[in-house]
């Protein structure tokens, strides 16, 4: 384990914004993680756990220790004729893991293809796309408990998953460091093609027989066309959550804006497409300096090169204010601001 000082963390964040960590270390074993957590240099300093850096916006230097998680390995724990239990290290690249599962015929993650990040961050946000949330496949999460210094297992129920949320973001924020995630995947696929443009994309691809690979390819095609590649343009994917409003509020909005994009939830409320709200406020394709809103997806804020974190945050705040003024809806940031 090598502890670095005043280390640039720009290479480890998909927004590509310059910031420094007072201390920085990469860990790939539980022993290294424990050593880092007990290093005398970090006494009383804040600790930031960094996975793929795909959900962070640095607005300043981090005056503490940044721990880059690099736990690797993919293991088949159990398999029968119906399901397979697969454990992946927290540092495994997410889309590579999805690709491996699809190739082996393990169903459940194909709709989550091409989402940036690593395996260890997927439970934190409860990532989701095209009608699927990762909580539907997670069996348990193995964590390092900072309160006890021990490794323990949290079941799916323990994680208290919700829409883009979990225990890791709220009630237990900062307590647990994820070392691996175990997924219960199906060997008898149930294909999810109703959401978004998957059916249209499959038809355009000439697909007549559904398969995991076909759905993955369709999702990759859609995402590649609509969303910017973080390796080319700095971004963190969806910057805001899709907000939910009560039925009365939604009906009022529908009367005033017949083209509003939303759908009813089980509790009778309505989820509204944040990208649509932002676009209606005129932000799609907006650019001020190097801080902007993507031209093809208003939900994605982009760094065209030299934008600062403060400039990106200022833009996000302006967007929130305009959506509030026009629709009386509070947009919540999905990205974690440091």
Q: Would you please indicate which residues are annotated as catalytic (active-site) residues?
A: 164, 238, 334
Q: Looking at the DSSP assignment, which residues form a beta bridge with residue 143?
A: 152, 178
Instruction: Report yes or no: 211 and 204 within 8 Å, Cβ to Cβ.
Output: no
| Joined tokens for residue 117 | 């990040």
Strand-pair category, 47-50 with 62-69: parallel
| Joined tokens for residue 145 | 């408990």
* The residue to which tokens 């027989």 are assigned: 209
| Joined tokens for residue 264 | 């009813």
Per 3-state DSSP, the chain is made up of helix, strand and coil in percentages (nearest 5) of 30, 30, 40
Which of 36, 65, 25, 70 is closest to 52 using CA atoms?
70
| Joined tokens for residue 126 | 């409860």
Alpha-carbon torsion angle 274, 280, 282, 285, nearest 10: 60
Positive or negative, the CA dihedral 209, 213, 214, 215 is positive
Which helix (H) or strand (E) segment holds residue 223: the answer is helix 212-226
Instruction: Report yes or no: 18 and 82 within 8 Å, Cβ to Cβ.
Output: no
């Amino acid at each position: 384990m090598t502890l670095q000082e005043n280390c640039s963390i720009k290479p480890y964040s998909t927004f590509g914004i310059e910031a420094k960590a007072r201390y920085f270390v990469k860990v790939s074993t539980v022993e290294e993680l424990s050593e880092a957590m007990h290093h005398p240099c970090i006494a009383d300093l804040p600790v930031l756990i960094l996975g793929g850096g795909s959900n962070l916006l640095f607005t300043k230097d981090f005056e503490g220790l940044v721990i880059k998680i690099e736990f690797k390995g993919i293991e088949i724990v159990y398999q029968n004729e119906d399901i397979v239990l697969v454990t992946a290290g927290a540092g495994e690249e997410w889309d590579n893991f999805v690709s491996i599962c699809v190739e082996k015929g393990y169903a459940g993650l194909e709709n989550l293809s091409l989402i940036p990040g690593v395996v260890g961050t997927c439970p934190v946000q409860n990532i989701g796309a095209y009608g699927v949330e990762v909580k539907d496949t997670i069996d348990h999460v193995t964590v390092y408990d900072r309160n006890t210094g021990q490794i323990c297992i949290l079941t799916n129920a323990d994680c208290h998953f919700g829409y883009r949320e979990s225990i890791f973001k709220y009630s237990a924020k900062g307590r647990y460091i994820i070392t691996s995630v175990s997924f219960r995947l199906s060997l008898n696929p149930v294909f999810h093609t109703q959401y978004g443009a998957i059916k249209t994309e499959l038809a355009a691809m000439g697909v007549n027989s559904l398969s995991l690979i076909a759905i993955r390819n369709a999702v990759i095609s859609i995402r590649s066309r609509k969303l910017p590649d973080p390796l080319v343009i700095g971004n963190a994917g969806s910057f805001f959550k899709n907000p939910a409003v009560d039925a009365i509020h939604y009906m009022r909005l529908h009367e005033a804006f017949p083209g509003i994009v939303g759908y009813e939830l089980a509790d009778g409320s309505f989820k509204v497409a944040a990208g649509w709200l932002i676009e209606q406020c005129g932000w799609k394709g907006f650019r001020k300096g190097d801080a902007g809103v993507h031209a093809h997806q208003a939900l994605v804020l982009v760094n065209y090169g030299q934008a600062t974190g403060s400039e990106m945050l200022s833009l996000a705040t302006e967007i929130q204010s305009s959506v509030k003024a026009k629709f009386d809806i509070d947009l919540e940031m999905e990205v974690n601001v440091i």
